[in-house]
Chain A
Amino acid sequence: GAVVSQHPSRVICKSGTSVKIECRSLDFQATTMFWYRQFPKKSLMLMATSNEGSKATYEQGVEKDKFLINHASLTLSTLTVTSAHPEDSSFYICSARGWGNEQFFGPGTRLTVL
């Protein structure tokens, strides 16, 4: 399958700072990428759908001003957690939609906010 990378894999930051997470499709172009949040032993919670060249579509309850998404090119989407707080600590995973509507997931980013 296609390869999706995420950077960084782990990040620890102080409360009030902003953190940027990058999601890249390495061997294919992805017009649509998804951002998920996953709590321990829980399912994937879709946060937003990122479309290249247009504004992201956020799921109900997800603050767009707090979780800034930019899909600048067909291979890169970024998620910025602004003014992070301890409750934002989580596992953030991105995925890129493939040609057959399947999703290829990145390895995830473990965010810890102190």
Chain B
Amino acid sequence: GQQVMQIPQYQHVQEGEDFTTYCNSSTTLSNIQWYKQRPGGHPVFLIQLVKSGEVKKQKRLTFQFGEAKKNSSLHITATQTTDVGTYFCAGSPSYDKVIFGPGTSLSVIP
């Protein structure tokens, strides 16, 4: 079946270091979304990417959608303790279907 994978599963970084999580789909996606879930909280929508090769930035966060629309990445520059949480990608092979990746849990050491 259709799968969305994410690596790494866990990442521990020193505050100020960069962080990247990668998302890969077994099938071509119509769009991909990224969510952040803080410990004890619920997922919060960050962004949606639709176009092949698209790059979007939100302050220190950079999101990329691959040319083949099967992979994506989220890069955080100079991490802060407020970045702690689990980052999920969610791929849509079709409009009515969303498949969440397993998430990457980020810990930031002050």
A to B CB contacts below 8 Å, 16 in the list: A32-B96, A41-B105, A43-B100, A44-B100, A93-B43, A95-B43, A101-B31, A103-B33, A103-B35, A103-B43, A103-B45, A103-B98, A104-B45, A105-B42, A105-B45, A107-B41
Chain B positions 81 through 105: 1 when the CB is less than 8 Å from some CB of chain A, otherwise 0? 0000000101010011011111101
Residue of B nearest to A93 (CB): B42
Tally the A-B contacts, defined by beta carbons under 8 Å.
Answer: 47
B44: interface (CB < 8 Å): yes
Known: A43-B88, A101-B31, A102-B33. A1 touches B45 (CB 8 A): yes
Chain B residues closer than 8 Å to A102, beta-carbon distance: 33, 45, 48
Q: Which of B48-90 contact A (CB under 8 A)?
A: 48, 88, 90
Residue of B nearest to A57 (CB): B96
Q: Which of A61-101 contact B (CB under 8 A)?
A: 93, 95, 98, 100-101
Known: A41-B105, A105-B43. A34 touches B100 (CB 8 A): no
Interface residues on B, range: 20 to 34
Shortest CB distance A87–B (Å): 21
Report Cα–Cα, A89/B35, bound state, in Å: 24
Query: Other CB < 8 Å A-B pairs besides A43-B103, A46-B98, 16 of them?
Result: A1-B45, A42-B102, A44-B43, A46-B99, A46-B100, A49-B96, A95-B43, A101-B95, A102-B45, A103-B33, A103-B98, A104-B45, A105-B35, A105-B43, A105-B45, A108-B42
Report Cα–Cα, A107/B105, bound state, in Å: 19
Chain A positions 26 through 69: 1 when the CB is less than 8 Å from some CB of chain B, otherwise 0? 00000010100000011110100100000000000000000000
